[in-house]
Structures are given as structure tokens and as C-alpha cells.
Amino acid sequence: MSANLDQLKVTAKIIRADILRSTTAAGSGHPSSSLSATEVVTALYFGGFMKHDAKNPRWPDRDRFILSKGHAAPVLYAALAESGYFPKADLLTLRKLGSPLEGHPNYKRLGGVEASTGSLGQGLSIGVGQALAARVDKKDFRVFVMTGDGELGEGQIWEAAATAGKYKLDNLVCIVDRNHFQQTGAAEDVLNMDPIDGKFAAFGWHTITINGNDMGEVVQAFQRAQEFKGQPTCIVSLTHKGQGILPLLEKLGDTNFHGKPLPEKYLEEALALVK
């Protein structure tokens, strides 16, 4: 496991660098929201927790990953490119006219994308439907959904949570990227949803709280979720928005840095931080 953990950490650095390069090249996007989620997405795609095949993106028995916080598309695109779904050079076409790498994931345009997301609050409902479909079709695939913490203010999230608990969907894992910020400020100030784990538990979920920027804790959480039966699992992933380049964001005077790319003049400094 230690060798695999070391490799996952190396891959996470590659993903971070690709997030920075692609959003700076685009001149728009959400690098800080993507950087907070890097360890979780890296562990899913490269840690052996998710069955997927870049050569057969619509393989019926694949596991599904739904990025409900669709504005963090750069982390998903970086993982898909690193997995071989499309050439890595295409990452630099992010948000360019004609590119399938749209600002939010588009299921119809890019293999490996499981849902068109970006209208916040909808991803968990889609995941519940897919998890129920697996049960109906007698398939053993699993469904992973990542939400943001600000996104939990959407009522649809809790309708989905209640439904998943009712049907005891133990093939469903929701990861809350708890980076403490949303577009307009601190998530707790906009609408405090604490305790997040307690709310999911009240709806019948098994809950795990981790440091989501610690690869070892992320891997252990997915192992526990894989082994747990009888309830859906919620992983509350405590992260930092802009993880990897926090010193630079502090220097720029904005640790939220929501919805804007790093100016090109700071790119090399940022890449040196994530190496």
C-alpha cells in the first residue's frame, strides 16, 4: 500500500499542475475549487476504487463518478486525460470554442463524463437514480458523487439523501468537498449546514470525516466505504480551497479565489509549489 500511496501522491501533483495550466490557458475557470478536490479524485481514478475503461467509456459495468460541483470540471478533465480518455494536450483547449472540455462537464460531448452538471444540487439525485438502476439491473457497479459544501444549501440534495437512506443504497458514496468557501464567501456565513455528518446520519447514512487533502486518509475512507454494507456512505472531506498554492493565494490576498484563473505571470510560481 505504501508504494501505491506514494504513486497516488505523485499523480495528485500531476493533476494539480494540469488544473493550473488548463485554467490559466483558458483565462477562466475554477482552479481553487478543483485543487481542493484533487486527492479524492486522484484516489478514485488511480487507487483501484473505481472500475473504468478509457477505451470503453460507456462500458455498462463501469463504476460512475458524478461531479455535482460541476464548476470544478478541471480536476475531472485532468484525471480523465491522465487515465487516457483523451490526449493530455487537449487540456489546453479548456473552455475554448468547439472544445468538448466545456466550463462544466457535458455528458454528450466527452467520454468519461457521467452527468452534465453545474446547476448545483442535482448530482446526488442523478447518483441515487444510477445506484437504484444498478439494483434493478442486478449490476454490481458503484456510484460516487462529489458535492460542494455550499451546494448543500440546495433542498434537492436532502431529498436525494432521504431517498438513498430509505433504499439503503450501499453502492452509493457521496463525498462532500468541505473546503469552507463558496462563490460569495465562507460557506458557514452564507448558510451554515453543520453538522454535515450528523445531517446525513439522520437520513440513514454511514458517515466518515477525513482530512481530504491527506492521501492516506482518503484511501482509508474509500476502503471503509467499500467494505460497509447496508447504508449509503457520506465522506465529509475537510479540504482547503486552492490546496497546493495557498501561499500564493495568501500573497494575492484572496484565499477563496473563486471562479478566476491564475494570471499567467504567476503560473510558474504556482507550478513550483505543487511539484
pLDDT score for 120 = 97
Mean pLDDT of the region 77-82 = 98
pLDDT score for 69 = 98
Q: Which amino acid belongs to residue 229?
A: K
- CA neighbours closer than 13 Å in the CB half-sphere of residue 163: 16
Percent of the chain with pLDDT over 90: 99
* DSSP annotation of 110: S
Which residue in 179, 170, 176 sits closest to 242, CA to CA?
A: 179
Q: Which pLDDT tens digit goes with each residue over 99-155?
A: 999 999 999 999 999 999 999 999 999 999 999 999 999 999 999 999 999 999 999
Mean pLDDT of the region 232-240 = 98
Strand 233-238 with 206-211, pairing: parallel
pLDDT score for 29 = 97
Mean pLDDT of the region 227-252 = 97
Chain mean pLDDT for the chain = 97
CA–CA distance, 31 with 266 (Å, rounded to integer): 13
Q: Which CATH class is domain 2-274?
A: alpha beta
Q: Enumerate the domain spans of the chain.
A: 2-274
pLDDT score for 3 = 54
Whole-structure pTM value: 0.97
Strand 181-182 with 185-186, pairing: antiparallel
25 has pLDDT over 80 = yes
pLDDT score for 243 = 98
Which residue in 172, 173, 168, 174 sits closest to 230, CA to CA?
A: 168
Give the distance, in angstroms, between the CA of residue 230 and the centroid of all CA atoms in the same chain: 24
**Residue 4 phi, psi (nearest 5):** -65, -40
Percent of the chain with pLDDT over 70: 99
Q: Which pLDDT tens digit goes with each residue over 147-189?
A: 999 999 999 999 999 999 999 999 999 999 999 999 999 999 9
With residue 175 as reference, give the H or E element that holds it.
strand 172-178
> Cell match 500573497: residue?
251
Q: How many Cβ atoms from other residues are within 10 Å of residue 61's Cβ?
A: 12
Which residue in 150, 159, 121, 144 sits closest to 232, CA to CA?
A: 144
Q: How many Cβ atoms from other residues are within 10 Å of residue 17's Cβ?
A: 19
* DSSP annotation of 89: G
Mean pLDDT of the region 204-231 = 98
